[in-house]
A and B are shown apart, each in its own frame.
Chain A
Amino acid sequence: MPQVTRRRALLAAAGVVSTLSALGVANSTALADPEPRTGARGADAGAGADGFDEVFQGRRIQGVRTAPDASAARKGGHSGHSGHGAAGGQDHSGHATEGWSVRIDGRDLHLMRNADGTWVSVVNHYETFDSPLAAARAAVVDLKGAQLLPLQTGGAR
């Protein structure tokens, strides 16, 4: 099937083929603390501005601020969703940007920041949230129990 072959070659040349990992075990760097502090911080809305660790609908969600991701900040290195669940550092206009690492049951939830300061996640990629915590909770609802897989993108451009 020449057309299929041609397209595959085209996509391969563009680095598009096989950039999303379809299999594999999650990056199982479960955080050291085995005892989730249920609800404590996430409950107060405002919410999780400095990080959060709560059980929401039976799933543990954790978010920590990280240093702006160096690889994302690299000029021309547009990896919207970084490979390690850390988002941020993507504002190339020179503003200091914050980074976040968010997990659901220890698995990375990929976040991306919008220019207006809101967030989108890989689970809810067509809507925006005011905070990483709000994005994490929405993802829990929409995953309906599913466990996240690590995501590999990039190299498309």
Chain B
Amino acid sequence: MNIRKNQARLSRAEKRRFVNALLTLKRNGTYEEFVTLHSTFFLSDQDAGSRVGHRSPSFLPWHRRMLIEFEKALQTVDRRVTLPYWDWTQDRSPASSLWAPDFLGGTGRDLDGQVMDGPFAYGSGNWELKVKIDENPFLRRQLGLSPRAPELPTKAEVESVLAIDEYDTEPWNSTCATGFRNHLEGWRGPNVHNRVHLWVGGQMATGVSPNDPAFWLHHAFVDKLWAQWQRRHPRSRYLPAESTDQVRGFRATLPPWNDVTPADLIDHRRHYFFDTDFFPFRGREDGAANADGRGGDGRGGDEDAA
């Protein structure tokens, strides 16, 4: 059983296993396939054309499938590993343990943005970028330094987006003035998902964002917010029900896999659980402690109860 945990609650050993699995995928070339997969879609998804992974209703199911595939790849290395999520409404500082040398490493240096510590520093010899938009082979970050994203989204901002009842709306792109998906993605409203990419900076803000392993922890949390929204709006459905010539409906297959639809991905519990799914009666702060698979009725904790 896959249980995705809050990164802040991982043990040292869990962090080490996750990092080792990443480094193994990097070494055997698998990691690059995921960077390329994401970039290929990200750079061609557009408002007035076909769009599957971004600025479209399938933003959430498409990333959910990609994360499932990536988690499976990590598990070919170490089957105990699952994707941790980064709750940036809580862990909001460059001083957070997330950015410590024993986990993701910290921000980049002034000179060129290069990350200098941790397992993903170029100097470690284990993290040379291959799928690049510029010549530098090293990971860059600028935690909290973008003038356009000085702070990560707050709990209140996320709440305002989780309160939106309708999943998505016409014209199903980055210009939708209403709808949960476009507000969560961040093209409108308080800017949630997109802003986190900017806050991390470096490759995370570019068309080749998965080069930074922070990508996976960020998206695991965005994915969790989708599940929280579903619990809050049990009557709301994925929209559009039917495909248009540019976006995918509920039962349309998603490329590049073409063997999965939003319908297949609508309930995360068919694929994995979140640590918070198991402790419905505990508060949100401590509710996710060391989930070990015990307990829980599978209905999920309503951690976002108003």
Contacts and interface: CB of A to CB of B under 8 A. Distances in A.
Interface of A: 1, 3-4, 7-8, 10-11, 13-14, 16-20, 22, 78-81, 90-93, 110, 112, 114-116, 122-128, 142-149, 151, 153-154, 156-157
B135 A90 contact: no
A8 B132 contact: no
A53 B113 CA distance: 26
B171 interface: yes
A18 B36 contact: yes
A156 B186 CA distance: 25
B30 interface: yes
A19 B40 contact: yes
Nearest to A123: B206
A11 B33 contact: yes
A157 B135 contact: no
Interface residues on B, range: 35 or more
B257 A123 contact: no
Contacts of B171: 115
Q: Which 10 A-B pairs have the closest CB atoms?
A: A14-B256, A115-B47, A146-B134, A78-B49, A80-B44, A126-B194, A126-B197, A144-B113, A122-B207, A156-B40
Contact of A116 (B30, B35, B174, B207): B174
B31 to A, nearest CB: 11
Given A20-B39, A22-B130, A78-B50, A116 B175 contact: yes
A20 to B, nearest CB: 5
A115 B175 contact: yes
Interface string B199-234: 001100111110000000000000000000000000
B135 A126 contact: no
Contacts of A1: 28, 76
B37 A4 contact: no
Interface of A, secondary structure class, is loop
Interface of B: 28, 30, 32-33, 35-37, 39-50, 69, 72-73, 76, 108, 111-113, 130-136, 140, 142, 146, 148, 171, 173-175, 186-187, 193-195, 197-198, 201-202, 205-209, 255-258
A20 B32 CA distance: 10
B131 A144 contact: no
Contacts of B173: 115
A126 B186 contact: yes
B36 A114 contact: no
B206 A153 contact: no
Nearest to B40: A156
Nearest to A91: B48
B185 to A, nearest CB: 9
B33 A125 contact: no
Contact of B33 (A7, A81, A91, A153): A7
Nearest to A112: B46
Contact of A125 (B36, B47, B50, B206): B206
B42 A157 contact: no
Given A20-B39, A126-B197, A126-B205, A4 B73 contact: yes
A154 to B, nearest CB: 7
B215 to A, nearest CB: 11
B112 A145 contact: yes
